[in-house]
Amino acid sequence: MSETADAADANEQAEPDGLSVTRSVVDGVTVVTVAGEVDHHTSGALRRALSPADPDGARTVADLSGVPFMDSSGINVLITGHQAHAPTGWLRLAGVRRPVLRTLEIVGLTPLLPCYPSVGEALEG
């Protein structure tokens, strides 16, 4: 896998104890790595990171292995991100922790947003 910096997109850190969001490109797929809690105060950074510059055929993997908690704001961001990639691209989730995965299951998002154990597996699809 080749990895290049995505210079067009800034990496964000919201507040010292907030959310860290970084973007990179691996084999033509944008990988968004998220660390911290996703809530009303931090979801904007994730929303910006999941918005494709060119939605036509955009492919994104969101690595949520560093996210221990996500509230409804984060769920809404994932729905918006999924819609921004449709109909020709995709958004996949990787490393989703059990509490966040349970929330995704309860609201019925797992059929729309495929969840993979790791970024590598999400890239392979």
- The domains of the chain are located at 24-124
What would the DSSP string read from start to end of the chain? --EEE-TTS--EE-TTTS-EEEEEEETTEEEEEEES-BSTTTHHHHHHHHS-SS-TT-EEEEEEEE-S-B-HHHHHHHHHHHHHHTTTSEEEEES--HHHHHHHHHTT-TTTS-EESSHHHHHH-
Q: Tell me, what's the pLDDT at 56?
A: 86
CATH (residue range 24-124):
3.30.750.24
Q: Tell me, what's the pLDDT at 16?
A: 44
Nearest CA to 113 out of 69, 60, 72 is that of 60
Q: Tell me, what's the pLDDT at 69?
A: 97
| pLDDT tens readout for residues 48-84 | 999 998 888 999 999 999 999 999 999 999 999 999 9
Under-70 pLDDT residues of the chain: 1-17
